[in-house]
């Protein structure tokens, strides 16, 4: 799925990382970073920053594609500030499945909201439904996209790669 065949791919998250290893193809050696065998969540954005700093210094045309699960992004999401501060060439995709390995859907979420004790009906691995993670970038004057279809993702990723290439900005 990488628009540029030489981008560095960072992926992290439970399902996101596992699926990413199969579908996010990298063509060059040492161009994939992920959380490894034990899947320690929270390292992806740090890996992306390190990769982007290398790109900035040694291969300015190269980009970093960072694909994060929603829970993994939650562990270190404010690293976006570091990315913006240093104008790093990173495109972030947050795969939102409402929790670790998947949360509940919108209709289930709505049904349980009237419960007296949500801790008894919502598993701890569930996150709130359809969080707009892209809005975090607006805090720093950057552009993010909320996508619900494959076509929207394709358009957003293309725009993001073009923006990082020509405007030296990072986007989500």
pLDDT of residue 1: 44
* Domains of the chain: total: 1
Domain residue limits at 56: 8-104+117-166
Task: Look at residue 55 in the predicted model and tell me its pLDDT.
Answer: 93
Given a cut of 50, the residues of the chain with pLDDT beneath it are 1-2, 172
Report how far residue 142's alpha carbon sits from residue 139's, in angstroms, rounded to the nearest whole number: 7
DSSP code at position 79: G
What is the β-pairing status of strands 64-69 and 32-34? unpaired
Residue-level pLDDT at 66: 94
The answer to whether 134 and 145 are in contact (CB under 8 A) is yes
| CATH number of the domain that residue 136 is part of | 3.40.50.970
pLDDT at 2: 44
Is residue 69 domain-resident? yes
Tokens of 154: 């394709």
pLDDT of residue 16: 84
Residue 172 in domain? no
What DSSP designation does 171 have?
Answer: B
Q: Give domain status of residue 109, yes or no.
A: no
Domain annotation covers residue 72: yes
84: in domain: yes
User: What one-character-per-residue DSSP string does 83-146 give?
Assistant: HHHTT--EEEEEE--SBTT----HHHHHHHTT-S-GGGTS-TTB--TT--TTHHHHTTT-----
| Residue 45: predicted pLDDT | 96
User: Is position 77 within any domain?
Assistant: yes
């Amino acid at each position: 799925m990488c628009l540029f065949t030489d981008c560095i791919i960072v992926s992290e998250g439970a399902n996101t990382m596992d699926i990413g290893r199969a579908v996010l193809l990298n063509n060059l050696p040492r161009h994939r970073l992920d959380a490894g065998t034990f899947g320690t969540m929270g390292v992806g954005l740090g890996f992306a920053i390190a990769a982007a700093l290398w790109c900035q210094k040694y291969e300015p045309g190269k980009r970093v594609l960072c694909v994060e699960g929603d829970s993994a992004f939650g562990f270190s999401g404010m690293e976006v500030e570091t990315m913006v501060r240093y104008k790093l060439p990173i495109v972030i995709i947050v795969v939102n499945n409402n929790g670790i390995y998947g949360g509940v859907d919108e209709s289930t979420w709505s049904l349980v909201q009237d419960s007296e004790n949500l801790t008894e009906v919502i598993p701890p691995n569930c996150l709130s439904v359809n969080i707009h993670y892209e809005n975090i970038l607006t805090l720093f004057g950057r552009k993010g996209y909320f996508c619900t279809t494959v076509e929207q993702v394709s358009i957003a990723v293309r725009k993001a790669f073009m923006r990082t290439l020509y405007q030296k900005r990072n986007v989500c």
